[in-house]
């Protein structure tokens, strides 16, 4: 009886296991780096994780809806090149706001293109978003053939700021959590989970499958634009392939966050936890003084072990029951 209740709890609150994993990796990190909880260090860490956090929440929505978006990284690159082209060190506040609004619109358009192809033309998400990723990286290269650009000093300082003595990253996490709580309470979220677990059943019960599916990619496009803004503020310059690597990391973060890739379940906050786990693991490897050439391997093995852990537990349980 109790085990059933426990199992139900874990399947509903999918991010609990991720949270436990997070506590473990943070503890390990603390043992290597005693000033981990100093405000300055927290601020630094969250600042580097922020772009991927925002991106992963968008990816999580697509994955929960039963798809995957392999174009998000190149979309971040495209947004980055547009921002450094439109914003110069002399830009006024109004111009900057306009540029931010424009790139958000472009992110939404890019997402709508993906969503239209997947939902209305019924194309497979993996290859479709792979194809559009070429379009986005082509545009990025067109906008900014050579790395460069610089931002107003105030803008870069803002990204490093700690309003009310709290890291900016904490506010962003707060907004992301609030966003998910609000979204989760709507009928839209029920549709989202329904099409993710079975689009046939959802269609049969009158869920507007196609339009909901389009919106998942629109969310992901918008979040890619926001992640692009964050990344640009973080680096202060532009490069046509700056965000390309973030695509696969966003997928790994989603999975580490306890969101099943088959869709229909999970909690977008889990993706944020997944990003922090990834960042903390990287920290540990740095502070544990792992030899330079072994860092990639150790990082990959730890991530693989984290991904495999639920499967190993399930396998052992099956063998015991037999």
Partner 1 sequence: MTRFTLTPPLIALILAVILFFAGGLINPDFVNPAQATNIVRLAAFLGIIAAGQTLVILSGGEGIDLSIGAVVTMGAILTFRLTGGDNSLIWVGLLASCGAGVVIGLINGIGIALLRIPPLVMTLGMTGVVQGTILVLTQGEMIGATPPLMRQLIAEPLILGIPGVIFIWAMVGIGMWVLLERTTYGKQLFAIGVNRTVARFSGVRVQWIVVLTYILSGLLAGFGGFILLGFAQTVFLQLGNNYLFPSIAAVVVGGTLLSGGKGSYWGTMSGALVLTLIDSLLRAAGLEQAYQLIVFGVILLALIVVYGRQRSLRQ
Site residues, partner 1 (CB under 8 A): 68, 117, 121-124, 126-128, 130-139, 141-142, 145, 199-200, 203, 209, 248, 251-252, 255, 260-262, 293-301, 303-304, 307-308, 311-312, 314-315
Residue position matching structure tokens 């991106």: 55
Q: Which is nearer to partner 1, 181 or 304 (CB)?
A: 304
Q: How far is the CB of 114 from partner 1 (least distance, A)?
A: 10
Please give the full DSSP string across 143-180, using - where no structure is assigned: H-SSSB----HHHHHHHT--GGGS-HHHHHHHHHHHHH
Q: How far is the CB of 238 from partner 1 (least distance, A)?
A: 14
Per DSSP, what are the bridge partners of residue 238? Answer: 148
Rg value, the chain, Cα: 20
| CB hemisphere CA count around 163 (13 angstroms) | 7
Q: How far is the CB of 124 from partner 1 (least distance, A)?
A: 5
Q: Which is nearer to partner 1, 26 or 141 (CB)?
A: 141
Q: Which is nearer to partner 1, 115 or 167 (CB)?
A: 115
Q: Which is nearer to partner 1, 47 or 114 (CB)?
A: 114
Measured distance CA(47)–CA(26) in Å, rounded: 17
Asked if 273 and 306 count as a contact pair (C-beta separation under 8 A), the reply is: no
Q: How far is the CB of 311 from partner 1 (least distance, A)?
A: 3
> Distance from CA of residue 264 to its chain's centroid?
18
Q: How far is the CB of 200 from partner 1 (least distance, A)?
A: 7
Q: Which is nearer to partner 1, 34 or 296 (CB)?
A: 296
Query: Would you call 90 helix, strand, or coil by DSSP?
Result: coil
């Amino acid at each position: 009886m109790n085990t059933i209740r426990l199992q139900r709890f874990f399947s509903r609150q999918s991010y609990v296991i991720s949270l436990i994993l997070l506590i473990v990796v943070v503890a390990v990190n603390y043992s290597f780096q005693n000033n981990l909880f100093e405000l300055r260090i927290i601020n630094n860490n969250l600042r580097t994780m922020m772009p991927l956090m925002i991106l992963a929440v968008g990816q999580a929505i697509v994955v929960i809806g039963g798809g995957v978006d392999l174009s998000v990284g190149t979309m971040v690159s495209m947004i980055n090149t547009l921002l450094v082209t439109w914003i110069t060190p002399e830009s006024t506040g109004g111009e900057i706001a306009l540029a931010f609004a424009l790139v958000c619109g472009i992110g939404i358009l890019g997402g709508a293109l993906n969503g239209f192809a997947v939902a209305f033309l019924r194309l497979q998400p993996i290859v479709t978003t792979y194809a559009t990723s070429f379009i986005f990286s082509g545009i990025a290269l067109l906008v900014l053939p050579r790395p460069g650009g610089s931002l107003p000093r105030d803008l870069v300082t803002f990204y490093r700021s700690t309003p009310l003595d709290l890291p900016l990253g904490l506010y962003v996490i707060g907004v992301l959590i609030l966003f998910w709580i609000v979204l989760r309470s709507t009928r839209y979220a029920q549709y989202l989970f329904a099409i993710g677990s079975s689009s046939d059943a959802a269609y049969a019960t009158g869920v507007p499958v196609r339009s909901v599916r389009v919106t998942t990619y629109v969310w992901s496009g918008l979040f890619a634009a926001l992640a692009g803004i964050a990344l640009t503020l973080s680096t202060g310059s532009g490069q046509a392939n700056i965000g390309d690597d973030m695509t696969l990391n966003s997928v790994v973060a989603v999975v580490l966050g306890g969101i099943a890739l088959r869709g229909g379940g999970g909690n977008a906050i889990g993706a944020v936890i997944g990003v922090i786990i990834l960042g903390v693991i990287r920290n540990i490897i740095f502070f544990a003084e792992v030899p330079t050439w072994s860092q990639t391997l150790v990082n990959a093995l730890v991530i693989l072990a984290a991904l495999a852990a639920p499967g190993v537990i399930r396998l052992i349980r099956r063998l015991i029951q037999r």
